[in-house]
A and B are shown apart, each in its own frame.
Chain A
Amino acid sequence: MGAQPLLKVENLVKHFVVKLGAFGEKGATVYAVDDVSFDIMTGETLSLVGESGCGKSTTGFTLLNLQRATAGKVIFEGENIVALDEKRMRPYRRALQIVFQDPYSTLNPRMTVGEVVGEPILFHKLATKAELPERIARLLADVGLPSRFAQRYPHELSGGQRQRVAIARALACQPKFIVCDEAISALDVSVQAQIINLLLDLQQKYGLTYLFIAHDLAVVRHISDRVGVMYLGRLAELATREQLFSNPLHPYTKALLSAVPEADPELEQTRRRQILTGDVPSPLAPPAGCRFHTRCPIAMDQCRSVVPEWREVVPGHHVACHAVAESVPG
């Protein structure tokens, strides 16, 4: 890549305080995102993968300042956006957009497609009222929908069509960066492929940067430039797609990759699955030291007490594991 970072995420932390007990007398903290740092390069697709509840969606929400960060910084255009209040955040909102997982609740059921797509254009004064119908038609064409869909309501559309409208709404702001929060997970496989290709086409056309939050490793492998693996609120490993899929370093990444079926039946025969025992510990009480040590096949004493450092072992390949040597031959 060699590109400039568009967003710099520095030691981002998001804790939720929950009240337990009949009168909410006991407070507990959910360690949803804990000390996560990474850069997102201009024009790239960075994927975040991990099990449900590992904090990948929370990372996406927090770095867009849709949830207030507990600590840490997100630097965008020289400004730490997670420290901004709603009013000062507004100018940055246009550039940073999000597409959600569930196509059925992502659109306001009382607004037509045209209103949904036109609203941000008028709000941010990106076009005059007279230009609006033409703008809406162009955006709908961009996402592969005919312009007469502008008159329709969300409940008249299929899941894939709604997701296209949600993408058009994000595009209407002329953004630089889009978080795709499991944007395809709720769709049929055939529709998934269409939406992925649409997202890739739009990236080419408008020079978009994506943070792609997903759990389907086959899809991630297809679309990503770089991939980050999260476990229980922390990043375990972050590398280019080639590095991560051919040379995974973290034992959790290895286990995760071994669970992907091979398309080739002969390779599938020889695929060795590494099955993790036990469940993911509760994010209410994450284990000390390395968060993965309770399930790690190669855990050492050190892992139980010392948090592994987040370091770059090979250029572009970050990992947080005590068992990985200082420098690994690429």
Chain B
Amino acid sequence: MAPANLTAFVDEDPPVSLWRDAWHRLFRNKLAVAGLVIVIFLALVAMFGPWLTPYDFLTQNLEVRNQAPSLAHLFGTDDLGRDVLSRVIYGTRTAFVVAIVVTTVAVAIGVALGAIAGYYGGLLDRTIMWFTDMTMSVPNLLLVVVINASLKTPVTAWMEAQYQATLNPFYRQTVWVDFLLVFGSMALISWPPYARLVRAQVLSIRGRPYVTAARALGLTNRLIIMRYIVPNAVGPLIVSVSAGLGTAMVLESAFSFLGVGVNPPTPSWGNMISDGLRVWQHYPHLLAAPAAVLGLATVAFSFLGDGLNDALNPRGSK
């Protein structure tokens, strides 16, 4: 009984999936594209850092201390005569490594717990959400300070003891203790928002008619999760991860600024800002360079996150 008029008004454009549609919307958003370009640029800088730095980031040259920016040192030099540009580039590496590892760990924990809580419900849900709320209620900074203050000395001492026993130079690399503690404590405080988001997504999608229809078709739970729930839940998660990467960078800088994150001489934007702040009236470039890059990265991630939000949830915007 196919009515002829039903076919008449259908245009002949190629069909667009929601994902491709979202890409188009993202590329029409100038701010989001700018954010994406900056993020990609910073990521490339982080990746190819060792080949981009004009000087070694640790080499001190006391003859050129505290120099203003010049052609030889584009961002100037610090109080030990180290090239600030090279240190900012290495700080970018620190920021990206911390952000990516922390966000990956936090998303893995959050998605697993959130999906279990949302899908199975009941006592499991209540236990997981109680644990999530409890974690959220602990002040971030306090937790990180406590972990770093209480664990750093024993872990360092243990590593020194291992070195004495085995003479394996691996145990002398205390940089990894910093990173381990920073990653660990940050991941420990960053996962609850992801768990909540994923749980809410799963709860809302689980009740939609298309999931009930899939159950009525007799599909297995595994198929329903893989084809119905996951593809519809990842949109908000992508937005949240993009914003979360920026947040993790700020958090790492904040901890390093306060001296509980990455410790000198490993460069981090945070500890560079901390060093620069003491002398900013005399040598403003020491503060300006890392602060500007941190600001740029934060703004870029936030524009990208906004753009992704508009692109992936078009009904929510305007």
Chain A hits for B228, CB < 8 A: 108
* In the bound complex, CA of A208 to CA of B3 (Å): 22
CB within 8 Å of B: which of A158-185? 161, 166, 169, 173
Output the least CB separation between B273 and chain A (Å): 44
Query: Is the pair A144, B3 in contact by a Cβ cutoff of 8 Å?
Result: yes
Q: Tell me if B7 and A94 are in contact (CB < 8 A).
A: no
Contact with A along B101-142 (1 / 0, CB 8 A): 000000000000000000000000000000000000000000
Q: Is the Cβ of A110 less than 8 Å from the Cβ of B2? A: no
A98, chain B: closest CB distance, angstroms:
5
Task: Check A108/B7 contact, CB under 8 A, given A145-B2, A169-B217.
Answer: no
Determine the distance from Cα of A302 to Cα of B223 in the docked complex, in whole angstroms.
53
Q: Check if A94 sits within 8 Å of B218, measured CB to CB.
A: yes
- Which of A66, A105, A123 is in CB contact (< 8 Å) with B215? A66
Contact of B15 among A98, A109, A124, A156 (CB under 8 A): A156
Say how far B1's CB is from chain A's closest CB, in angstroms: 6
In chain A, what residue has the closest Cβ to B14? A151
Find residues 180-216 in chain B having any chain A CB closer than 8 Å to their own CB.
208-210, 212-216
CA gap between A105 and B17 in the complex, in Å? 16
B232 adjacent to A108 (CB under 8 Å): yes
Once the chains are docked, how many angstroms separate the CA of A100 from the CA of B207?
13
Which among A64, A109, A112 has the highest number of chain B CB atoms within 10 Å?
A: A109
A47-73: which have CB < 8 Å to B? 61, 64, 66
Q: Which of B16, B19, B232 contacts A156 (CB 8 A)?
A: B16
Task: Name A105's contact: one of B16, B209, B223 (CB within 8 Å).
Answer: B209
What 1/0 flags go to B1-19 for Cβ under 8 Å of A?
A: 1110011001000111111
Known: A141-B2, A144-B1, A194-B3. A123 touches B223 (CB 8 A): yes
In the complex, B151 has a CB within 8 A of chain A: no
Contact pick for B219, options A101, A111, A123, CB 8 Å: A123
What is the bound-complex CA distance between A109 and B17, given in angstroms?
A: 9
**Which listed residue (B1, B10, B232) contacts A110, Cβ 8 A?**
B232
Interface residue tally on B, bucketed by range: 20 to 34
Do A106 and B210 form a contact, CB below 8 Å, given A161-B6, A197-B1, A198-B1? yes
Specify which chain B residues have a CB less than 8 angstroms from the CB of A145 in the assembled complex.
2, 6
Tell whether A96 is near chain B: CB-to-CB under 8 Å: yes
B209's contact among A100, A155, A197, by CB below 8 Å, is which? A100
Bitwise, A174-218 to B at CB < 8 A (1) or not (0) is 000000000000000000001001100100000000000000000
The 8 Å CB contact of A97, one of B3, B6, B210, B216, is B216
Q: A66-B212, A93-B217, A166-B213 are in contact. Are A111 and B227 (CB under 8 A)?
A: yes
The chain B residue sitting closest to A61, CB to CB, is B212
Closest Cβ of chain B to A162, distance in Å, is 11
Partner of A112, one of B15, B213, B218: B15
By a CB distance below 8 angstroms, the chain A residues around B10 are 146, 149
Docked CA distance A146–B214 (Å)? 24
Contact A64 B218 (CB under 8 A): no
**A residues adjacent to B (C-beta < 8 A):** 61, 64, 66, 86, 89-91, 93-94, 96-98, 100-102, 105-112, 119-120, 123-124, 141, 144-146, 149, 151-153, 155-156, 161, 166, 169, 173, 194, 197-198, 201
- In the complex, 5 of the A-B residue pairs with CB atoms within 8 angstroms, ordered by the A residue number, are A105-B208, A109-B232, A144-B6, A156-B15, A198-B1
Extra contacts besides A101-B209, A112-B15 (5): CB < 8 Å: A93-B217, A110-B19, A144-B1, A156-B15, A156-B16
| Nearest 5 A/B pairs, CB to CB | A93-B218, A144-B2, A110-B231, A100-B209, A90-B218
